[in-house]
Structure 1
């Protein structure tokens, strides 16, 4: 385990084209303090959790000091925002502090979010508020606990620095950790500015650092695009199965490693509504929950177009077809796991569809339905609708579906592990919007107990955690209709 002084840093990204970023010194926060620290993320960095006792920890991650071997850099990229190309993007409130190298040679980006103005801040102040920092901190922990690829967060640092959003709030920094912060938008920036040699250099960098096995492929760049399509498909299939809406799927928020990235107005579905929009700024519903698979394809198409100096049309089309095939295959696999099915059958699509239609029609809580189903034995299914009385106003149609489900289970070679499998793939705990909001409001008063409780259950969302079962209850009516904005 390492201390702050013994962390080994590299700064390979800063050795790329100078147009891809600019060196920036963080702007310090006033009277900084630790809000919360995640030892599970520290473990990824091989960082001793006792590091929080080092007085430099808060100073470094509040922008008041930097380690000698850090090389803070604001990344430059562009991207399509709500379908329109925007050339004026970049790290407007974040800095890549450096790349931590572990004893195994694995590289982790250490990123400070909310560190003040950069050349890409445009009209912004470069700050993050405590509210948005807590939401991303909790969200990244929730996704990691669900085994969905994501960026991570090591700590939140609060302060007395005032910032103005809709109201006066206090600034904070989020210490983000990721295998890479490279986005589709990095490639789009180089393509649209005609820096095609630098674009190839960046593609080579991605292959060297993240996909070294592709270096010897017959067509390394085509294989790279296909691999990114596959990872994106797996990520979005996982989102759809667990009921997660990202909210702002712009291409500058799309990771080249298929990581859930840049948590803004995200939301986990409460009552099942496929057209759920979690971002109140998304007036057209472009990024609604049920649009995410298609938007993934749209974003990959834009990304593929940015790679046309390296790829031909056939290679791009092959990658996009691979995305669609992988997305469907992975989503079907995920749904079968949620229902405890181990083999594929042609009737599965109809079984899934009829269930989702039921959940939509009766406005049933998505997470609690599947968790409840994970408790019902096969022999109970034909008359097991009473288990769902708290979720359905009328269970007559559900009774019919449960009978069909029991019939489908008869095709399984072995159902003895069904309930165990289902409980391993249907979480009891998700980060509901109202819980995040309550944690924020309490934290703004200096109480971090709910953050601590949420971090415990979100790290192990499939376990029972009987002492805090209230966090798994149906949300109150007001908690289902919270509007989340991009303001942070």
Structure 2
């Protein structure tokens, strides 16, 4: 039985429900499915504080019951959101098949964040699934999303994980769990695709107006506001994908339902970080053709944004031919926007403050050498930032020695001293990433009841640019370098 808790004042719940004011076609109201024995496993103290929650109150049994969906905080209107999406290029109707939006927490600073339970049970959009989630994948999302936050990359975040006391069945029996996810919103490209395909133009306009008010208030009254919104989304995504590439992050499942309107990274299913530099790197077990490979992520982002543009055509202009032209012009800007973000970031990774025409060739040459020798992406830049060129085969090669001379000459042509360049590099190159073997190590220990491994990993990742002694262990590569690592979507 689900009850409504009255601990809202003590715990700090301050929920609004603006999304639930949209037309009924965009969501279904329902309560989470209660679980037998909820237990709070991890609670994000800094995030809870920033959201206005009382950490101590959330830690008690009432907090576990809320994060499990057994109790509903006062002010919540739980809903499952409807959306569609291109999954590996194939369009289909989707929706929150195992998640419920409790509402929007209004923070002490007046900001608005979605609070969503992931793994809270079946919904009308479950499509045959059980609506539940396993502990391992929920902890993976916690680790990776918080690491991304540490990298200063826009992302949904993880507030809490609870175990349910129940078993879920995947390829084997696994511990059931629920993740509480925090997002600027859960509006997706797929939300607009859903509206375009199954709703009226009036409902599409209502969704767009809501999105403008929530995420783009500065252009809400523009004459061409829907085109301006598209252009702003393109800018945000160009910046986001460049940030992914700069740290070697591979999302793994860049379906249109996994691209947010806000510009945040969402859904950490088969994601991972690249070790040896190779643009063709794929980790996802279901991406057998490499559609979402590391080097293809910018192209896929542009493709996804084109699908958003198609959905918005009726709002961009009543003249279909003009709407198509305006949308195409907007989409065509993505490549330059992405490239400018990426090369600016790459200059920073190499300690370069100003711009020279030859910079792109210098960057490209280093990446080519790294690919040839299978050099670790993160540790190569880490070593350059520390000016400790040792213990990696690439540094002994003739190609690298020549490149290093060109790079040093490039730094000497700047007015900034080299010490400043190395400081810029340290602030632009994470000392550590969530190494795949370290993540797996933490998850294996956690599902066996030992959360200390995960806690230490999260602590080390909380400030990835610290370059502290405690991080050195996490910079080490696995003993077996060339094993075929695979990730799974966790559904």
Relative to the length of structure 2, the TM-score reads 0.94
* 1:486 counterpart residue number: 489
Give the SS at the match of 1:392. helix
* 1:36 counterpart residue number: 42
Q: How does 1:125-274 map to 2 (within 5 A)?
A: 125-274=130-279
Q: Deviations over 1:385-408 (max 9, x none)?
A: xx2333438422110110111121
Q: CA deviation at 1:478?
A: 5.9
What is the CA RMSD across the aligned residues, in angstroms? 1.5
Q: Which whole-Å CA distance do the structure 1 matches of 2:209 and 2:216 have between them?
A: 10
* 2:416 counterpart residue number: 414
* 1:59 counterpart residue number: 65
CA contact (8 A) 2:13 2:74 kept: no
* 1:449 counterpart residue number: 452
Q: Which whole-Å CA distance do the structure 2 matches of 1:218 and 1:71 have between them?
A: 34
Q: Which whole-Å CA distance do the structure 1 matches of 2:258 and 2:249 have between them?
A: 16
* 2:309 counterpart residue number: 304
Runs of 4+ in 1 over 4 A off after TM superposition: 2-5
Give the SS at the match of 2:237. helix
Q: CA deviation at 1:3?
A: 5.3
Q: CA deviation at 1:101?
A: 0.8
* 2:327 counterpart residue number: 316
- Distance change in 2, residues 1:137/1:271 (3 Å): same
Q: CA deviation at 1:464?
A: 2.7
* 2:54 counterpart residue number: 48
Unaligned runs of 5+ in 1: 377-383
Unaligned runs of 5+ in 2: 1-7, 317-322
* 1:467 counterpart residue number: 470
Relative to the length of structure 1, the TM-score reads 0.95
Pair 1:343 & 2:349 matched: no
Q: How does 1:370-409 map to 2 (within 5 A)?
A: 370-376=381-387, 387-392=389-394, 394-409=396-411
Q: Deviations over 1:2-58 (max 9, x none)?
A: 855542111010110101010111112222212111112112312122223332000
Q: CA deviation at 1:375?
A: 1.4
CA contact (8 A) 1:78 1:185 kept: yes
Pair 1:440 & 2:443 matched: yes
* 1:332 counterpart residue number: 343
* 2:3 counterpart residue number: none
Q: Which whole-Å CA distance do the structure 2 matches of 1:144 and 1:225 have between them?
A: 25
How many residue pairs get aligned? The number is 477
Q: Deviations over 1:279-330 (max 9, x none)?
A: 1111111000000000001000011001111121232122212222210100
Q: How does 1:103-118 map to 2 (within 5 A)?
A: 103-118=108-123
- Distance change in 2, residues 1:242/1:5 (3 Å): closer
Q: Which whole-Å CA distance do the structure 1 matches of 2:394 and 2:38 have between them?
A: 48
Pair 1:293 & 2:302 matched: no
